[in-house]
């Protein structure tokens, strides 16, 4: 079982998630808001619909899928995400020298730096209001050292649990604690705090197609003037930028489509609104009777209902069909 955690608050974070083909997937939605918009999540291509109670965590289990991209959205089809399923996750990375501010920034992934292709690999995880980064990529078949740099006190993050290995370690406040893990086959491993409030993941991958990138990381690490404790490998590659460009293009297209639908709806609604307001509120005797004719209102409002409201009707229909089948 693969596990992915998604925060629901004004959108999905992250809104693009990755999984390995041929393995079942568990998506844990942590909804931190109320309101109707995000109260349901729908995977239309997978025939899955689930209620997301406010300020609660909901688990959605998906069966193993073939490679491809599967969209998911809120019940009103206003918030979107994408599940990308691939044969093997192969991260690529460029080594970045980073200070504390960058470590606590928006980057969510790090690729473990190997001493050599077959030897020990290492990665540093900052513990401060969560795990930064929260996702670690490591080579399958090689041991891994995780250095947890905890920069806070309190009980929540005082312990890290890696159930797959049966490992539990105490993390002292404002101290770096090293956790050594044995080699692991390709797959997904979760780690959490002792209270299950903070989540992270390790993706063990096969480096079958990117040896030059691993060599580049090792070489950069050897020539770096900084100590190892200040060297992190953050996923900042061109493929990621390309993905962001695609998402931005899709978002602009979606905004353009919604703007067009709302504009058409507003233009068609104004004559009906004018007739109703003028007659019922101002009792104007000069108003032509056509404006108060029900057939006139029906002719104008029907396109609004069908065209402007189509995204909502489509998602509602998908949710109803899925609920009926289940």
d(CA 156, CA 16): 28
To which H or E segment does residue 43 belong? strand 40-43
Would residue 244 be called left, alpha or beta, if left means φ above 0 and alpha means ψ between -120 and 50 degrees?
alpha
Looking at the structure, tell me whether residues 132 and 229 fall in a common domain: yes
How much of the chain, in percent, has pLDDT values that exceed 90? 12
Looking at the structure, tell me whether residues 131 and 105 fall in a common domain: yes
Looking at the structure, tell me whether residues 117 and 81 fall in a common domain: no
CB 287 within 8 A of CB 278: yes
Looking at the structure, tell me whether residues 310 and 184 fall in a common domain: no
Q: Which residues are bridge partners to 95 per DSSP?
A: 233
With CA atoms as reference, report the closest residue to 9 among 28, 44, 37, 51: 37
Read off the pLDDT of each residue in 159-188 and give the average, rounded to a whole number. 87
Looking at the structure, tell me whether residues 138 and 57 fall in a common domain: no
The burial class, CB within 10 Å (0-12 / 13-18 / 19+), for 210 is: middle
* pLDDT value, residue 236: 32
Confidence of residue 103 (pLDDT cuts 50, 70, 90): very low
CATH code, 15: 2.60.40.420
The pLDDT of residue 210 is above 50: no
Looking at the structure, tell me whether residues 104 and 166 fall in a common domain: yes
Provide the residue range defining the domain that includes 198: 94-236
Of residues 323 and 41, more confidence is placed in 41
Confidence of residue 221 (pLDDT cuts 50, 70, 90): very low
| End residue of a domain, out of 236, 268, 287 | 236
Looking at the structure, tell me whether residues 232 and 152 fall in a common domain: yes
The pLDDT of residue 304 is above 50: yes
Q: Where are the alpha helices (DSSP H) in the chain?
A: 100-103, 211-223, 238-280, 294-303, 310-325
Looking at the structure, tell me whether residues 216 and 121 fall in a common domain: yes
* pLDDT value, residue 250: 64
Cβ-based neighbours of 94, under 8 Å, separated by 6 or more: 216, 233, 234, 236, 237
Looking at the structure, tell me whether residues 74 and 167 fall in a common domain: no
Looking at the structure, tell me whether residues 61 and 154 fall in a common domain: no
* pLDDT value, residue 72: 94
Confidence of residue 232 (pLDDT cuts 50, 70, 90): very low
How much of the chain, in percent, has pLDDT values that exceed 70? 73
The pLDDT of residue 118 is above 50: yes
How far from the centroid of its chain's Cα atoms is residue 80's Cα?
10
Confidence of residue 324 (pLDDT cuts 50, 70, 90): low
How far from the centroid of its chain's Cα atoms is residue 139's Cα?
23
Of residues 247 and 304, more confidence is placed in 304
| End residue of a domain, out of 86, 117, 148 | 86
* pLDDT value, residue 95: 30
d(CA 26, CA 301): 43
What does pLDDT average to over the chain?
74
Looking at the structure, tell me whether residues 167 and 121 fall in a common domain: yes
Looking at the structure, tell me whether residues 110 and 215 fall in a common domain: yes
What confidence tens digit (pLDDT) does each residue in 6-57 have? 888 888 888 888 888 888 888 999 998 888 888 999 999 898 999 999 999 9
* pLDDT value, residue 301: 87
Total number of domains in the chain = 3
| End residue of a domain, out of 236, 261, 295 | 236
């Amino acid at each position: 079982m693969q596990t992915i955690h998604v925060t629901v608050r004004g959108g999905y974070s992250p809104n693009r998630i990755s999984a390995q083909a041929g393995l079942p997937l568990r998506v844990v939605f942590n909804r931190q808001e109320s309101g109707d918009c995000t109260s349901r999540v729908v995977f239309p291509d997978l025939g899955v619909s689930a209620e997301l109670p406010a300020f609660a965590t909901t688990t959605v289990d998906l069966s193993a899928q073939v490679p491809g991209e599967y969209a998911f959205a809120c019940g009103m089809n206003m918030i979107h995400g994408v599940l990308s399923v691939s044969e093997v996750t192969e991260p690529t990375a460029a080594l970045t020298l980073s200070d504390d501010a960058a470590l606590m920034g928006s980057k969510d992934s790090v690729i473990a730096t190997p001493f050599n292709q077959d030897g020990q690999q290492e990665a540093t995880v900052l513990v401060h209001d969560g795990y930064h980064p929260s996702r670690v990529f490591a080579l399958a078949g090689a041991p891994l050292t995780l250095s947890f740099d905890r920069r806070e006190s309190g009980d929540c993050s005082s312990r890290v649990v890696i159930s797959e290995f049966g490992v539990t370690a105490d993390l002292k406040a404002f101290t770096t604690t090293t956790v050594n893990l044995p080699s692991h086959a390709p797959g997904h491993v979760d780690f959490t705090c002792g209270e299950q409030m903070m989540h992270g993941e390790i993706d063990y991958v096969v480096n079958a197609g990117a040896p030059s990138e691993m060599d580049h990381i090792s070489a950069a690490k050897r020539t770096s003037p900084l100590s190892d404790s200040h060297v992190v490998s953050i996923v900042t590659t061109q493929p990621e930028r390309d993905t962001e460009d695609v998402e931005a293009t899709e978002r602009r297209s979606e905004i353009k489509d919604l703007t067009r639908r709302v504009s058409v709806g507003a233009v068609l609604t104004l004559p009906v609104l004018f007739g109703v307001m003028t007659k019922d509120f101002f009792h104007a005797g000069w108003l032509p009777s056509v404006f108060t004719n029900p057939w006139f209102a029906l002719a104008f409002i029907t396109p609004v209902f069908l065209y402007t409201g189509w995204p909502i009707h489509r998602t509602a229909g998908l949710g109803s069909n899925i609920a009926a089948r289940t």
